Structure 1
């Protein structure tokens, strides 16, 4: 029987029974509209098999067979404050510093000064806004976020093609990593319109695809929007990120809003919101992407150190062999059984989008979720 999620569950530590197993976590939100419950500090499994899941996890009413309240001692107001600051109880410690302000650049002189500063950074968040970004699209804004400050470049106001050429040394710099969420359109636009090759890119959307495959053992059919990824990976509140809504059949028309001047304040803030957290997102994703490698190194560290004297004495003669314990690390099954359904139109993929999502909506808050039809 489907569970009923009541508002008084907020702040409670609960245990959810789903088809694939048990989840424990603290209730962060209860959705009256979609019948959902969102948990923080989530673990999956029982006993020694428990595995910690990073970020927030959302469940629909139909996913949950039973819900049990473990304790009602958590102060939900405190919980929300922690999330608003970018912390969650499973974040693993302090996150990277975030920019404490931003500037809108509207002249070539301002851009020259900003490029000199950005060129000295090692890692930058980068995002682009415009109309149908690609070789036939129109570029409106390029936003860069360093640790201390963010810059929103009004490309047309700064000189159009000349502004992009000013940015070329930065965009092509091999010693400055650019963290982008879905670099496809921007890379195509820069290469075909301006002859600029975007270099040294960490694509957080590509990282999500790899992490999804590693976690579920299947290739997702749909990508994660930057806003939803920030909410799920960093535990941010929806109001801290920007959810763009574009109708697929009116994409060009809807995106014209990025070309209007003066730019509406909510759009300017939205352009900043989804880039200032990208460096943090990369940090979290890198930890997960390198988790298998780190476990392999741990095996190497203990392979001889923890062996008995007889095996340790033979170790110098066995250095040409891979430690057998590495095999167990590499053969570890997916960490969380998938609730997604096969995509029969594209064999080898799973349909990880909710059934009933509006076909005319490009992004939704739930687009990156392993849902069961």
Structure 2
């Protein structure tokens, strides 16, 4: 047993102070003791093991737990997670060895008896503990090194430690050098793809019933299709409408409802536009605006094309009439259908921030955001209609070639009142139907189509 200088003695444990610092300390080691003498084959509680700290590492013990009795070498003790591990574990009854570590929780341990020490394990474990004291805890799990590789591994550790110090020094200098260098500006967002129809780029705020208001109402009345959007706080029957946006192919009008007043806005001509059956109003998610107008002003929207409802219908067409559970947001539709970048769309704020729509004056960023909610709606409507009419387009293309692609003999035999065979194959069955007849000279029977001679 190596010589050690005793410095402190207590009733439970005796810690030792080595004569040589550093790695020599862990090479010499010190046996765990209690009282004035070094005692082996004595039982200790887990609290006494924890109090000993790193001095218990490498000790060979007999551990009695609730599930059985084991002999092994103490590998680590973790007081924070209340765990205890042994290596080189052997079942004393059968003599069978276990591979790896065997972990116990403190509450499952009954007693621990120290029967000696494992010099190789103690030297290795205490050396690792010394490195952690000097260099900090390791982030990776500790790897057990076989005894025959310990000598060569020492040299590798020295090289790796030196290189790691150099890497840490370089990493320490890099942030200081980076602070002096100006970071490059972020790249500009890509331009939006070419539009299918004209997109309004300019927007105008209208906050009073004046000449500009009347011109805007007259211009909106002349359009067959307009886009509308609404923002405010808690849009609905108990909410407050702040901005009502309406877009034509050339300009976007932002009606400041918070300044004008909702009732005054509607009675000055806007309600006539919302109620006009001859004007298609394109909107994304009309539920909140309809609920607000109906309960606060008694106005109901008419001739609405809702892009969110249209997406539900398209989903049903493509999934055998199954209905989706969640709705689609406007930015996701614009990105998916029109190929816009996320920077060209407007992502609304959270509910707790909706009060910013009632502050005046509104920032240009918020105004531009409201304009984005109506700028692309008409173009999105056309893209959705094209998606809805995919089957019709397919049938039309078949119709175009049903006669021209035939040879002359076959074309003469085809009957114009019969659906082309290529289209009949698209359906599961072919139904006999009787079309409505408005020509008195034409009569249909089950198997014939007759045309009476025209009167002279």
User: For residues 205 and 214 of structure 1, do their structure 2 counterparts lie closer, same or farther at Cα, with a shift above 3 Å needed?
Assistant: same
| Equivalent residue for 1:97, pick from 195, 198, 206 | 198
Matches within 5 A, 1:46-195: 84-87=191-194, 95-109=196-210, 110-165=212-267, 166-195=269-298
Counterpart residue number, 1:302? 401
- The alignment partner of 1:147 has SS state of coil
> Matched residues in 2 for 1:97 and 1:232: separation?
19
> Matched residues in 1 for 2:425 and 2:237: separation?
46
- The alignment partner of 1:157 has SS state of helix
Contact 2:201 2:375 in 1 (8 A): no
Structure 1 runs not aligned, ≥5 long? 1-79, 88-93, 332-373
Counterpart residue number, 2:119? none
Q: Is 1:208 aligned with 2:316?
A: no
Higher relative contact order (CA 8 A, sep 6+): 1
Contact 1:83 1:235 in 2 (8 A): no
Contact 1:130 1:259 in 2 (8 A): yes
User: For residues 202 and 308 of structure 1, do their structure 2 counterparts lie closer, same or farther at Cα, with a shift above 3 Å needed?
Assistant: same
- The alignment partner of 1:221 has SS state of coil
* TM-score, with length taken from structure 2: 0.49
User: For residues 81 and 322 of structure 1, do their structure 2 counterparts lie closer, same or farther at Cα, with a shift above 3 Å needed?
Assistant: farther
Counterpart residue number, 1:71? none
Structure 2 runs not aligned, ≥5 long? 1-186, 429-456
> What is the number of equivalent residue pairs in this alignment?
239
> Matched residues in 2 for 1:101 and 1:157: separation?
21
Contact 1:108 1:159 in 2 (8 A): no
Contact 2:205 2:254 in 1 (8 A): yes
- The alignment partner of 1:219 has SS state of coil
Q: Deviation at 1:164?
A: 1.8
Q: Deviation at 1:95?
A: 1.5
User: For residues 329 and 191 of structure 1, do their structure 2 counterparts lie closer, same or farther at Cα, with a shift above 3 Å needed?
Assistant: farther
> Matched residues in 2 for 1:326 and 1:190: separation?
47
Counterpart residue number, 1:322? 419
> Matched residues in 2 for 1:306 and 1:278: separation?
40
> Matched residues in 2 for 1:153 and 1:130: separation?
12
Q: Is 1:254 aligned with 2:357?
A: no
* TM-score, with length taken from structure 1: 0.59
> Matched residues in 2 for 1:256 and 1:329: separation?
54
Counterpart residue number, 1:277? 376
User: For residues 258 and 294 of structure 1, do their structure 2 counterparts lie closer, same or farther at Cα, with a shift above 3 Å needed?
Assistant: same
Q: Deviation at 1:190?
A: 1.8
Q: Deviation at 1:115?
A: 0.5
Q: Choose 1 or 2 for highest CA Rg.
A: 2
Contact 2:237 2:292 in 1 (8 A): yes
Contact 1:126 1:275 in 2 (8 A): yes
> Matched residues in 2 for 1:327 and 1:196: separation?
47
Q: Deviation at 1:327?
A: 4.4
Q: Is 1:229 aligned with 2:304?
A: no
Task: Calculate the aligned-residue CA RMSD, in Å.
Answer: 2.3
Q: Deviation at 1:311?
A: 4.0
User: For residues 108 and 224 of structure 1, do their structure 2 counterparts lie closer, same or farther at Cα, with a shift above 3 Å needed?
Assistant: same
> Matched residues in 2 for 1:117 and 1:198: separation?
19
